């Protein structure tokens, strides 16, 4: 009888050890599972932070080098553009090609300042050209009348500005004008004058608002 009891106790000890080992294994598995979950959470957090950082970097790159949104303020480009129109400006385009006649461009009001006021006008004259406006408001480029399919009004004599005589553009200068000629401060006047290429921020390529006019800005 005593022998049987000893055997029973031994079996109980073995069973107890097996249970402890099983518990230790389960605990180890749970610990590893928890550690893996923590690692996964950390990875997800790091991935999210990197994703947000990438988006911010992409937005910064686009705004700084590729393009930006701008809002038309005033009627100087009427009736091509209206007051309040939201435009997308391509800031990348002039890194690879020269500005062209009739491009609608954006440039700062004052060069070399932190002033955040910009002009938006249309390129009329290109580097090296001679610009003149006669008393009837006709624009001449190298003594040839400019062909136009825009322009809200004929230029009044008082709005001809300095272009009543020949204005000769330098090798990197442009002559710009608003389409609403009698309500535009542009290269006809000393405040703007001949526009150096380095002041051109970019070309207006897309009207984003109002939605009824959404689309590419044609020349």
Report the catalytic residues.
76, 121
Q: Measured between alpha carbons, how far is 68 from 88 in angstroms, rounded to an integer?
A: 6
DSSP SS3 for 136 = coil
Q: Measured between alpha carbons, how far is 121 from 87 in angstroms, rounded to an integer?
A: 13
- The answer to whether residues 116 and 68 touch, using CB atoms and an 8 Å cutoff, is no
Dihedral, CA atoms, 202, 203, 208, 212, nearest 10 degrees?
A: 160
Query: In this structure, what are the phi and psi dihedrals at residue 158, rounded to the nearest 5 degrees?
Result: -70, -10
- What is the total residue count of the chain? 219
């Amino acid at each position: 009888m005593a022998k049987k009891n000893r055997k029973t106790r031994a079996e109980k000890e073995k069973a107890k050890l097996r249970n402890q080992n099983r518990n230790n294994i389960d605990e180890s598995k749970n610990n590893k599972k928890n550690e893996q979950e923590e690692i996964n959470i950390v990875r997800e957090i790091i991935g999210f932070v990197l994703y947000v950082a990438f988006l911010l970097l992409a937005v910064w790159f686009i705004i700084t080098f590729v393009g930006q949104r701008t809002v038309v303020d005033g009627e100087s480009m009427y009736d091509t553009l209206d007051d309040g129109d939201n435009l997308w400006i391509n800031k990348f385009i002039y890194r690879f090609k020269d500005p062209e006649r009739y491009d609608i461009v954006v440039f700062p009001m004052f060069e070399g300042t932190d002033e955040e006021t910009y002009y938006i006008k249309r390129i009329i004259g290109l580097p090296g050209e001679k610009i003149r406006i006669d008393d009837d408001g006709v624009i001449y480029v190298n003594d040839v009348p400019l062909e136009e399919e825009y322009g809200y009004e004929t230029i009044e004599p008082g709005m001809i500005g300095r272009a009543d005589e020949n204005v000769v553009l330098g090798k990197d200068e442009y002559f710009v004008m608003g389409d609403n000629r009698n309500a535009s401060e542009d290269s006809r006047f000393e405040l703007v004058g001949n526009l150096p290429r380095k002041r051109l921020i970019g070309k207006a390529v897309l009207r984003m608002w109002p939605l009824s006019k959404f689309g590419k800005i044609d020349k």
